[in-house]
Amino acid sequence: MFLDEPARKTPLVGAYDVAVVGGGVAGIAAALAAARCGAKTILIEKQFALGGLATLGLVTIYLPLCDGCGRQVSFGLAEELLRISIRHGWEDRYPAPWLESGTRESREKRRFEVQYNASVFAILCEQLLRESGVEILYGTSVCGVQTENGKIRALFLENKSGRSAISVRCAADCTGDADLCAMSGADTARFKQGNVLAAWYYAQHGNRVRLKMLGFADVPDKYKSENEKRQNRRRYGGIDGAELSEMVQDAHTALLADFLKDGSVSQKHNLTAMAAIPQVRMTRRLCGAYTMDDTEQHKFFTDSIGMIGDWRKAGPVYELPFRMLYSEKVKNLAAAGRCISVTDDLWDVTRVIPACAVTGQAIGTALALSDDLPALDVGTLQARLRNDGVRLHECELETDNR
Ligand SMILES: Cc1cc2nc3c(=O)[nH]c(=O)nc-3n(C[C@H](O)[C@H](O)[C@H](O)COP(=O)(O)OP(=O)(O)OC[C@H]3O[C@@H](n4cnc5c(N)ncnc54)[C@H](O)[C@@H]3O)c2cc1C
């Protein structure tokens, strides 16, 4: 059954070159890159803080910028944001082998990753965006788009003021769930396996506050043992409102049970923080002009926009082709972070923080340069990315890594 809504006129409240939807790590990097390229940029976030899963989701381990064999592979904003995340110190300060004086041998033994304070990271990112001229609009959901001739022309917003619209030259989908891609008619695909329950939280033990990681990073079915395949855990798809609410309630119940099993609440043992957003890993993604697979390790892509390693193991390096970030159908739309165009088997590698920063920087830069991404001269994009500190190809690495 359906209800007809009355037709209405929506106030147009602004005009922007680049609208970034979603303020997780991907959105932060995209907005920063676009603004630094001179684009009039707005970042729209439905929560009231930046960082998404990386802050409000309490996922506070900035996974490696290196390949596990002593070489840094992710640069540019991925490195800048990692440094910012620990600027005021936390459990892991800058890993010593990755200081200027570090040797390749010492770097092989210690991956280039850190653990950071979620609240400090969120505030520092906010300050950085404001200093860079990004307009941040919190408490606002993008709930619709107006498209014309294969391009997004306006976004519809809902917030405390009611419903409004902004006109945009181009838009970045950094929602994690490809919401904007779906709204604008780009092809999307769902993660077939679904997500297992996760409930990361912080608890105090004596004088220390510790991250407790309840739940596990699932592996693609094709890599599972027969025994693992037989385990029949509940899975959550992550893009159904009612199911997400149920998942969050299940996570709360699991969290409290896990916390209480260690002992009762006391001054020495206390629950200090739970996630404020659902902890889902892979949900829905863009079907881009190219879909990359986990078999494409060490492959040279002429349109690479940066590189990532594999957080799960040492060795693999992936160059990320620009074509996996945009849709042929909606030419002024690009996606970054959790919802880029990868197969289910690669998704677990590209969903993590460094990859979100690498892809965010690439699309922010690209959208500042053009509102027709399939027609954009990739060489121009790559020149700008290089200028902003990004390394594009694995063959360029040896001179930078001792
Ligand atoms: C349990 C768990 C553990 C993980 N562990 C790690 C780890 O240890 N290290 C690591 O590097 N990665 C880890 N990850 C993955 C990583 O944290 C996330 O995938 C990454 O932070 C995602 O960034 P993102 O910007 O793509 O998306 P998100 O962080 O999901 O950000 C999307 C943002 O968009 C906003 N948004 C969504 N829809 C709209 C809309 N319509 N309008 C306005 N705003 C909207 C959301 O509020 C959110 O802030 C983990 C993930 C999970 C779930």
Q: Residue 5 and residue 2: Cα distance in Å, rounded?
A: 9
Determine the Cα–Cα distance for residues 164 and 8; give it in Å rounded to an integer. Answer: 11
Q: Which tokens is 276 given? A: 């404020």
Residues 46-65: pLDDT tens digits? 999 999 999 999 999 999 99
- Taking the C-alpha atoms of residue 183 and residue 181, their distance in angstroms, rounded to an integer, is 6
| Domain boundaries of the chain, sorted by first residue | 12-191+283-394, 199-274
pLDDT classification of 203: cutoffs 50, 70, 90: very high
Read off the pLDDT band of 229 (50, 70, 90). Answer: confident
Residue 223: pLDDT band (50, 70, 90) is confident
Is the beta carbon of 49 within 6 A of some atom in ligand 1?
no
Lowest-pLDDT choice from 33-37, 95-99, 134-138: 95-99
pLDDT per residue over 276-292, tens digit each?
999 999 999 999 999 99
- Mean model confidence pLDDT for the chain: 94
Q: Is 58 in the pocket of ligand 1 (CB under 6 A)?
A: no
Structure tokens belonging to residue 321: 């082709």
pLDDT at 263: 67
Measured by CA distance, the residue closest to atom 38 of ligand 1 is: 175
Answer yes or no: is pLDDT of 340 > 90.
Answer: yes
Pick the atom of ligand 1 nearest to 353's CA.
11
CA of 23: how far to CAs of 83, 209, 369, 398, in Å?
Answer: 19, 26, 21, 34
For Cα atoms 221, 225, 226, give the angle at the middle one, nearest 5 degrees: 95
Fold of 12-191+283-394: FAD/NAD(P)-binding domain (3.50.50)
In this structure, the dihedral spanned by the alpha carbons of residues 350, 355, 357 and 362, taken in order and rounded to 10 degrees, is: -90
Mean pLDDT computed over 13-36:
98
Mutating to test ligand 1, I would choose from 32, 141, 175, 247 the residue with most ligand atoms within 8 A of its C-beta, which is 175
Q: What is the pLDDT of residues 177-186, one digit of tens each?
A: 999 999 999 9
C-beta of 338 in contact with ligand 1 (< 6 A): yes
Residue 265 has pLDDT above 80, yes or no: no
User: In sequence order, which residues have a C-beta less than 8 Å from that of residue 323 and are 6 or more positions away?
Assistant: 288, 289, 290, 303, 341
According to the model, what pLDDT value does residue 92 have?
A: 56
Ligand 1 nearest-atom number relative to CA 56: 49
Distance CA 154, CA 19 (A): 10
- Measured in Å, residue 102 CA sits from the centre of ligand 1 at 31
Q: How far does the centroid of ligand 1 lie from the alpha carbon of residue 297, in Å? A: 24
